[in-house]
Structure 1
């Protein structure tokens, strides 16, 4: 029994592994359970191999020579890629053959893999069918823009943000937009309960039917705050060459709740759910306002960077923990500067897009 299992076909073409998967050998089961515990890094590869063995549905317990294993895998690869099966010198009248059992196994495995590839490609083109040009709306620093989507949904883009989607929208498919930055959504409910999805990243999305919420995708902040209705916030990881995704974290929100994506030490995302006392603060930009409620000045500094492109430094670091509550016109940020200077007895110096709080 081999110990150095590195690739998918090392497992699929191992008779002991197949016996374990198909429940035909108790000794094999004991060995592979021990192997799996000792090699947790191989768990995903093993799950893929188990799927293929089940798909074969064929007697795979025969002892194969190494050359036969290599030949079977060559047959599988050639079925998928359409390339010549082997570099063997097949002169006229001479045919290199596998024994029937090996041929049947190769054929079934190849058919399974080919079906997966064909299905993935078909789904991709099916999703792309009817999709035309990409429509994109964007705002500059300090600018807010209202957008009316093809289904009648309304989106208010905050400053330094963009929204894109493909048209025309088909009633048979999910309505989907991609957001970078921040926006407030008023999503219309369709008679056929057509879903609406906001993509914040390739693997982060918000799914709704009809509701009102604020979505944020900034370098330091990814979250959704719900005003009305119900939304589902999901984080996924890619699989099968990026064609399919597996959900790794998901939260359903009710009005007055928020969920944020926080970095996790494993590299995957985790969701932090909370109750929001004043959700209107997060969508105040649609009314041309900046609103803060007991916000540390570090949060104020981040808003100044996100909305106006201003870089804030604190010469007096004690100011970083001071907290501010108030509202100012979004298009008159100098009013905020005056309020902060008077309230905290500080001085704000500006040179270009650089601000210093001292």
Structure 2
């Protein structure tokens, strides 16, 4: 019961504000509550100790200070337990009750400590940005425009390496052995998929449906909440269709991977596919009222560093008129 009450207090932002004297309304409310509930004085004191000991602050975390406070708290509890243990028999009963509470308290504090000591890292790219970054195991990720990835700051030796992706990214995953001698798993989570990797190079795109394109190695993937596993080999692509099922196909050398090099390589892709790419890569809304235009096919290679140049190429190749105006693009056929 005590631990449940402690958990409730420590999960309360209002209580944390009261302890740190950060919000006058919270301070006033808790002072009044404590005055009206003197039976909870010990509970409040213990919760206050935890908050102070961890310098509980969801802002910038000083790892050295946090670790130092953690060990100080452990030492303080051991010291108090030792003092009680050297008293009378009645004191011993009190000690056992105290020790049990302390063990639970240490477990709770440890959970908070680990949460803040190993926080999630989030990287985001803007509309005109790409970024290449290293993961905790030195695997490499290139984020496309308007994308985000998150992962834990450090990965324990024998845990599954996990990242969560929104947008599009190209992964080069290192093969890393675990304690059992086998290769450690690497998982990419999207809204719809869990992609299981050992060591390989592949692209994941969550714009307009989830796509996975494999360049080398092998990946297994499954829909979230489902048991069926699909294996992807080099030169193949998998996507989640409108019905929520995984479809496998041969990979077109196209917009799925070549964006990493700042170009788009099309192989009989439709204008509709290119429009989807433009909308997500540049944060624009593209209007094309003449639906028959969307099926026009394109093959070839184009630079994507400059939107105006890309639109000019589309105009010339497909005999179009393209007008760009304040974040909107309108496409017409030449009459």
TM-score by length of 2: 0.61
Aligned: 1:340 with 2:306: no
Contact conserved, 2:215 with 2:234, CA < 8 A, in 1? yes
2:124 is equivalent to residue 134 of structure 1: no
Query: Structure 1: where are the runs of 5+ without partners?
Result: 1-124, 238-246
Structure 2 residue matching 1:263: 3-state secondary structure: coil
CA contact (8 A) 2:193 2:210 kept: no
Which whole-Å CA distance do the structure 2 matches of 1:223 and 1:292 have between them?
16
Matches of 1:188 and 1:357 in 2, distance apart?
43
Distance apart, 1:283 and its partner CA: 1.5
- Mapping of residues 99-248 of structure 1, within 5 Å: 132-192=118-178, 193-201=183-191, 204-218=193-207, 220-237=208-225, 247-248=226-227
TM-aligned CA deviation for residue 204 of structure 1: 2.0
Are residue 273 (structure 1) and residue 252 (structure 2) matched? no
What does residue 263 of structure 1 align with?
A: 242
Contact 1:141 1:309 in 2 (8 A): yes
Indicate how the Cα distance of structure 1 residues 217 and 277 shifts in structure 2: closer, same or farther if over 3 A, else same. closer
C-alpha distance in structure 2 between counterparts of 1:131 and 1:337, whole Å:
48
Counterparts of 1:3-18 in structure 2, within 5 Å, are none
The alignment yields a C-alpha RMSD, in angstroms, of 2.1
Partner of residue 11, structure 2: none
Structure with more of its chain in helix, by fraction: 2
The offset of 1:292, in angstroms, is 2.1
**Deviations along 1:216-270, whole A, 9 cap, x unmatched?**
112x220211111110011132xxxxxxxxx343201111111111233xxxx32
Query: Structure 1 residue 281: deviation in Å?
Result: 4.3
The C-alpha deviation readout for 1:23-66, integer Å capped at 9, x for no partner, is xxxxxxxxxxxxxxxxxxxxxxxxxxxxxxxxxxxxxxxxxxxx
- Is contact 2:304-2:310 (8 Å) kept? no
**Unaligned residue ranges in structure 2 (runs of 5+):** 1-110
The answer to whether the 8 Å contact 1:249/1:270 transfers is no
Is 1:225–1:259's contact at 8 Å kept on the other side of the alignment? Answer: yes
> Residues of 2 paired with 1:317 and 1:229: CA distance?
39
1:328 aligns with 2:302: yes
State the TM-score, normalized to the length of structure 1: 0.57
SS of the counterpart of 1:347? strand
Cα distance in 2 between the residues matched to 1:295 and 1:222: 18
